[in-house]
Amino acid sequence: MTISISPLDLYLDEKNPRFVILSKRNQNEIRKYLLSNEDVSQLANEINNHGNLFPGERIVVIKEKNQYIVIEGNRRTCSIQLLLSRKLIPHLFEHKIPIASEEIIKNCQKIEVDVLSDRNVALALMAKRHIEGVKQWKPLAKKQFFASSYDNGKGRSIEDLSVITGIDKSEIRTDIRDYKLFSKVYGDYKKEHPSFDKEILDINIDPFLRLFKAKFVYPADTKISPLNFFEIEYDEQHNIINTVDNKIFEKLTKMAFEKAVVTEEVNTRNILTDINNIIPLLEKILKKKNKEEKNNTQSNNTSENEQQTKNNNGKEIGLNSGEIPGGPKPGGPAPRAFFETISWRGKLDPKNKKHQGLLVAVHELYNLSNMQVNRKAAYELFSISTGMALRTAYEQALKLQLIQTGLWSNYNKTIHVKSFPTLSGMEDFINQGKNKNQVFLKKEMIFAFDRIITAKNREFLNANIHYAGNINVTPDTLKSIASGGMFFLIQSIIDCL
């Protein structure tokens, strides 16, 4: 839809991610920002000399609360507004805006603008124009755009942003994480150094970010990525929540910021170990990692000697009484194929009887995924056995989640007196009424559960138990089940403990 309207009746978009750095996002502050950072005074002179808006550059708006908000064309709108009303020119910028020509006053009292239906449509347009082409934002703007739109999980999801912009989810996730790391270090540095006056959007962020992405050699002959060396972990909002040593990592990021941004002594050809005084910090981290690894090895050896833990009847069960390694630390990459990265460290307790069923099963899956036999993963050679372990892990995970959410007794009331809990019975109970929202506290878990119970390969789990001689589970089936939501759901249930 197109309407004719006075530019003075348009509102600059206070929700535009470009303006996220402003402490006050009102119309006057946005005009100041555009004049200071977006060459609006130059644009105003060009428009004034032309006598009108340039052909083919229509302004795009949406209607919110009876106001027409500029979605595309904030610079042009601001320029026209300042030409038509000098009262709107911020203090100290008066000399930069020319007196409006007769043509501007005649031609721009009313202009035609395109009206979009909602912000989703607008977001797609902004992404297409500013991320892919016409007028590139400054270096940090794309990352800022996604971080602001995501808004710590309160805004649009990464999946939605990917659909809207056509940009891969992994790239969006990386942009959000990059922006959060950089903006935190930037904010901390400004607090400690009030005289530092570089605006965040004027900074070339690439040298800083490369320091935490490019592999470096440390110790000798060992090439490693910063992500793995520092054992960086993220929360669900993509904030860094843990490293191998948080205090050293914070000190290290400040040093990197100072060299890459403040003094500009390093560039995109440099790596972390090029910075003076970084090596001693890396050495401290390496010593800590070696110490932890030694302690874990000693603990594991003790556990192996103890062999088996006994249940209430005195019978042996497949758990070591000592601490089990627990798989990799959380926060690493998604499973490459099956359950290589399942993690239960600090979550499943061998001494807790409620945890033992799931712990036995995930420990088995972890070993089957990572053990190599003739250059093949064990689960690829022993698919039937792996399928049984996977079904056990899934069933025990659902049971534990029902117990944790206080619904296990409610489920048992639905079971016939002569019957016993079954996997399909638990699935049916969870899928009834409001039970699903009570059992799974996050929408991503509900989505994974729905995918599991509706997937065709879900039937292989039951068939593998009851008709193993007729229906053989293959490695591809196992991988499909794992990537179809099973790995995510089991890991999420463990993480909720």
CB 1 within 8 A of CB 63: no
End-to-end CA distance of the chain: 52
pLDDT tens-digit readout, 219-266: 766 788 898 889 898 888 899 988 889 999 999 999 999 999 999 999
Q: How far apart are the C-alpha atoms of 331 and 228, rounded to whole Å?
A: 10
Residue 249 pLDDT: 94
The pTM (predicted TM-score) of the whole model is 0.49
Percent helix, strand, coil in the chain, to 5, is: 55, 10, 35
Burial class (CB in 10 A: 0-12, 13-18, 19+), 483: middle
pLDDT in the model for residue 304 = 44
User: What's the CA gap between 180 and 149, in Å, rounded?
Assistant: 13
Element (H, E) at 123: helix 119-126
Q: Rounded to whole angstroms, how far apart are CA atoms 41 and 94? A: 10
Pairing of strands 233-234, 240-242: antiparallel
Taking the CA of residue 98 as centre, how many other CA atoms within 13 Å lie in the half-sphere pointing to its CB?
A: 15
Q: Which tokens in the block code for residue 474?
A: 């293959």
Write the CA distances from 414 to 174, 421, 436, integer angstroms: 46, 10, 16
User: With contact defined as beta carbons under 8 Å apart, do 266 and 257 qualify?
Assistant: no
List of the chain residues with pLDDT < 70: 17-18, 20-21, 23, 123-139, 164, 220-221, 296-336, 417-419, 456-472
The pLDDT value recorded for residue 470 is 59
Pairing of strands 223-224, 233-234: unpaired
Asked if residues 399 and 356 have their Cβ atoms less than 8 Å apart, the reply is no
Task: Compute, in degrees rounded to 10, the torsion defined by CA atoms 267, 268, 271, 277.
Answer: 20
Angle (CA) 209-211-216 rounded to 5° is: 145
Grouping H, G, I as helix, E, B as strand and the rest as coil, residue 61 is strand
How far apart are the C-alpha atoms of 65 and 332, rounded to whole Å?
44
Predicted confidence at residue 21, as pLDDT, reads 63
Q: How far apart are CA 187 and CA 460, in angstroms?
A: 52
Q: Are strands 309-310 and 240-242 parallel, antiparallel or unpaired?
A: unpaired
The amino acid that residue 354 corresponds to is K
Q: Which residues contact 388 (CB under 8 A, 6 or more apart)?
A: 464, 465
For residue 387, what are its two tokens? 């399928």
Instruction: Provide the pLDDT for residue 307.
Output: 41
Tell me the torsion sign for CA atoms 397, 398, 403, 405. positive
